[in-house]
Amino acid sequence: MIRAWFVCASLLAAAAGWAQTPVPAPSQPEPPSATAPAPAAPAPAVPKPWNSLSPQQQQVLQNHQSEWNNLPADRQQALAKGSQRWLSMTPQQRAGAQQRFSQWRAMPPEQRQLLRQRWQQYKALPPERQQQVRESFNRFRQMPPERRMQLRQQWRQMTPEQRHRAVQAPHAIQAPHAMPAPHRAPR
C-alpha cells in the first residue's frame, strides 16, 4: 500500500509541479539487429480541405476555418480527431474538459513543459507499469481529503533524494502513519 501511495504521490507531484527531482529517462531501446526487417515508416498525413469535415466538426473548429488550409496535415488531423472526441462527449465530460483546459491555459509555460515531459515519460513506461500508476492514482483519489492532504504534505517535506528513492523503491520507505483501511458499507 505504501508503494501505491508513493507512485500516486510522484504522479501527483509531477502534475502539480511539486517534484524537484526529474524522473530518470527510460533506457534507450536496443537497436534492431541486422537480420530484423526495418519498421515501415508511417505514411505522411495528407492535408484535407475544410469542407471534408462534417458540419458538426466545422462548428467545433470554426475558430480555425480561416487558417485551416495553411495548417500542416498532422495538425489538421489532430484537430479533426479532437473535434470528433469532443462531439462524442457527454455534457458533463465537456464541462470537465473545459475546466481542465482553463487550468492548463492558466499554468506558466515552464509548468506546462514539465507536464509534457512527465506525460512523455509516463507514455514510455511499459503498459503494466502504466496500469499500476493509474490504479495507485485512483486509490489516492478515493482516500478521504484529510489523508490526501497529509500525504501531500509528507511528499513536500521529503528531500529530492528521498523522493527519488521513494519512487524507485517505494516498498523500502515506511510512512509514519499506517494507511487507513478502506471504508466498507455493511451488507
Question: Within a 10 A sphere around the Cβ of 75, how many other Cβ atoms?
Answer: 15
Q: What pLDDT, in 10s, does the model give residues 126-178?
A: 999 899 889 988 999 999 999 999 989 998 999 999 888 887 765 544 444 44
**Closest by Cα among 78, 48, 77, 83 to 62:** 83
Q: Which residue has the higher pLDDT, 139 or 42?
A: 139
Task: Check whether 23 has a pLDDT greater than 70.
Answer: no
- Look up the pTM and report it: 0.51
Q: H-type helices in the chain, by residue range?
A: 2-16, 55-60, 73-87, 91-106, 109-124, 127-142, 145-157, 160-168
Q: What is the pLDDT of residue 12?
A: 43
Q: Which residue has the higher pLDDT, 154 or 39?
A: 154
Q: What pLDDT, in 10s, does the model give residues 62-112?
A: 999 999 989 999 999 999 999 999 999 999 999 999 999 999 999 999 999
User: How does residue 46 score in pLDDT terms, banded at 50, 70 and 90?
Assistant: confident
User: How does residue 30 score in pLDDT terms, banded at 50, 70 and 90?
Assistant: very low
Q: What is the largest CA-CA distance in the chain?
A: 62
Q: What is the pLDDT of residue 48?
A: 85
